[in-house]
Amino acid sequence: MSVTQPDRDTVLGAIELAIRAPSIHNTQPWRWEVGDRTVHLYADWDRQVHATDPDGRDLVVSCGAALHHLRVALRASGWQTTVHRIPNPAYPAHLASIEPHRYAPTDDDVLLAGSIMRRRSDRRPLSSWPVPPSHIDRLVATAAKSGALLVPIADDVTRTKLLAAIGEAAVRQENDPDYAMEIAAWSGRGPFATDGVLAASAPAEHSTPSAIAMRTFPGGTLPPYVSDDGAEEATVLLALATAGDDTVSRLRAGEAASAALLAATELGLASCPLSQVLEVADTRQAIATDVLEDAAMPQLLLRVGWAPTTAGKLPSTPRRPLTEVVAELGSHER
């Protein structure tokens, strides 16, 4: 390893962790280029899911999560990073260039990187155990460090409005034939798939539903479980928002989502990003108005809580091999 630059194996190892980031329908809509002194992140617009994500917001948020994962992985390996977001405005698919610098990692850095492989999107109902306020405060502070606002939905009136918007968005999308075909195409994947949502990661059709309307992935086989006590879920909903709604704002929202989800994993919480309600223009605006009082733009919702003790371990979701997502700098046509 060079004194001033990480070697290629270190960079590829970090990218291998970066692509563990959550993405819309596990489409993994990113590609990377590796140079002598920099790593570059690009949006892969060929993997946009148009019926679900017509304006590409989910795609950019997904790439932001991968960017943060990369930074966490490099930091644990001894490399701090300087990030230039949208370094070439004439080429907006070039989302970020990353410059590594030597750094002495702490134990916390190593532990945070270790949480990347443990994080799962848990779509099952959660337990009735309350999440300590200190845990929520940590998630909020973590997101703030990445440049986004994370707002817990605490009062009953606002939560009721939010749940109504979530349900409305689900109905609207499920009645769209194009969406139905698209979600079916990305769902029910077998264990050897390299993208899409595993059948084993999605609740089966007749399993116990969550109190919150979750996106339905056809072909799910995740078995139901018996609740610990039959009591109501103590799920915490948090709205992730940014001051603007441009590409940089969406990228930072993804970075903040990654930071909060990894922090939740460190705390032992089950978590799942929710984007469906923000994919419908009317319900997204309703959240901006009713939840955020038009002070910020919602980019994602996070659902966190404790998994019941009866909940089995979720499988690791598939990822495309590095050979499909990594290239030498300058090898892709602009």
- Per-residue pLDDT of 94-147, as tens digits, reads 999 999 999 999 999 999 999 999 999 999 889 999 999 999 999 999 999 999
Cα atoms in the 13 Å half-sphere on the side-chain side of 171: 8
Q: Are 26 and 20 in contact (CB under 8 A)?
A: no
Helix (H, G, I), strand (E, B) or coil at 26: helix
The correct answer on CATH 3.30.930.10 for the domain covering 8-118+317-328 is no
- Predicted local confidence at residue 310, as pLDDT: 82
- Per-residue pLDDT of 181-194, as tens digits, reads 999 999 999 999 99
- Predicted local confidence at residue 232, as pLDDT: 79
Q: Are 187 and 218 in contact (CB under 8 A)?
A: yes
CA angle 63, 26, 78 (to 5 degrees): 50
Look at residue 250 and tell me whether its pLDDT is greater than 60. Answer: yes
Q: What CATH code would you report for 133-305?
A: 3.40.109.10
At residue 1 the predicted structure's pLDDT band, cuts being 50, 70 and 90, is very low
* Residue 139 to residue 124: CA distance in whole angstroms: 21
User: What is the domain partition of the chain in residue ranges?
Assistant: 8-118+317-328, 133-305
The rounded Cα 96 to chain-centroid distance in angstroms is: 18
Reported as type and span, the H/E element at residue 300 is: strand 297-305
Q: Do domains 8-118+317-328 and 133-305 have the same CATH topology?
A: yes
Contacts of 38 (CB under 8 A, 6+ apart): 97, 98, 99, 329
